[in-house]
């Protein structure tokens, strides 16, 4: 048995997909927040967060795993949230990469864009990035039968990450992804939001505000 600690600032950011996977798998975890970042930064594999601290109770070994994509894939494999078929798994991976490209743009807009430049940059993002995101993801979803799953027939980490990206998009620009504007993507959102364990998490105090 292992115990897990999600190490990140007290917000969703790049840690939210990690928390969502643990929640979907029904695995208990703790959150750890930096208290002295300049001192803590050099202790991390790449000087960045998120990290997952894994304590193996049997071997008494502790591993600090960094890079959000590696953490998510490790947990998804460990807790059976990946497609079994290699091609379905690869399609899911490609959707993850595309989704994270958009999430990274959102992070840049929210946290790294000067306040006075934000309205114009958000408008540019809305015109230049959002339509391509909806179009590309819709095509993959439709090819798989338009049932909220990108490849194969099982809910995996990629639908969970897409749910999170949709949530980020709708927080940045309310009404971007809805049943009307992007019906295929909205099915992904609803499928994940109605998963019993995710539903309980979303309503719980464990979910961070921002």
Ligand X SMILES: N[C@@H](CCC(=O)N[C@@H](CS)C(=O)NCC(=O)O)C(=O)O
Positions touching ligand X (CB under 6 A) are 13-14, 41, 47-50, 67-69
- Backbone phi and psi for residue 10, each to the nearest 5 degrees, phi listed first: -75, 65
CB of 74 to ligand X, least distance (A): 13
Nearer to ligand X, 18 or 184 (CB): 18
- Closer residue to ligand X in complex, CB, 53/85: 53
Q: Which of 190, 207, 188 is nearest to 96 (CA)?
A: 188
Of residues 16 and 195, the one with the C-beta less far from ligand X: 16
> Nearest distance from residue 161's CB to ligand X, in Å?
12
CB of 99 to ligand X, least distance (A): 13
Q: Strand pairing partners for 51?
A: 7, 66
Residue number with the smallest Cβ distance to ligand X = 48
| Closer to ligand X by Cβ: residue 49 or 185 | 49
* DSSP 3-state of 124: helix
Task: Please name every residue paired with 52 in a beta bridge, in sequence order, or none if there are none.
Answer: 6, 65
* Rounded-to-integer distance, Cα 202 and Cα 163, Å: 12
Total residues found in the chain within this entry: 210
Rg over CA atoms, the chain: 17
Shortest gap between Cβ of 55 and ligand X (angstroms)?
20
Residue (55 or 67) nearer to ligand X, CB = 67
Q: Which tokens go with 62?
A: 């502790």
What is the smallest separation between the CB atom of 71 and ligand X, expressed in angstroms?
8
């Amino acid at each position: 048995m292992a115990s897990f600690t999600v190490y990140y600032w007290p917000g969703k950011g790049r840690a939210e997909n990690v928390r969502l996977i643990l929640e979907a798998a029904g695995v208990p975890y703790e959150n750890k927040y930096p208290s002295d970042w300049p001192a803590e930064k050099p202790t991390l594999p790449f000087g960045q967060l998120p990290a997952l601290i894994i304590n193996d109770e049997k071997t008494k070994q502790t591993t600090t795993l960094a890079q959000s994509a590696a953490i998510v894939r490790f947990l998804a494999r460990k807790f059976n949230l990946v497609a079994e078929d290699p091609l379905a798994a690869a399609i899911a991976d490609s959707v993850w990469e595309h989704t994270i490209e958009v999430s990274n743009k959102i992070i840049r807009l929210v946290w790294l864009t000067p306040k006075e430049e934000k309205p114009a940059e958000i408008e540019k993002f809305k015109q230049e990035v959002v339509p391509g995101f909806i179009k590309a993801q819709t095509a993959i979803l439709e090819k798989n039968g338009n049932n909220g799953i990108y490849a194969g027939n099982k809910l995996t980490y990629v639908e969970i990450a897409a749910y999170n990206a949709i949530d980020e998009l709708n927080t940045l620009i309310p009404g971007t992804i809805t049943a009307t504007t992007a019906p295929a993507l909205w099915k992904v959102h609803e499928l994940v939001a109605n998963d019993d364990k995710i539903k309980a998490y979303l309503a719980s105090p464990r979910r961070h505000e921002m």
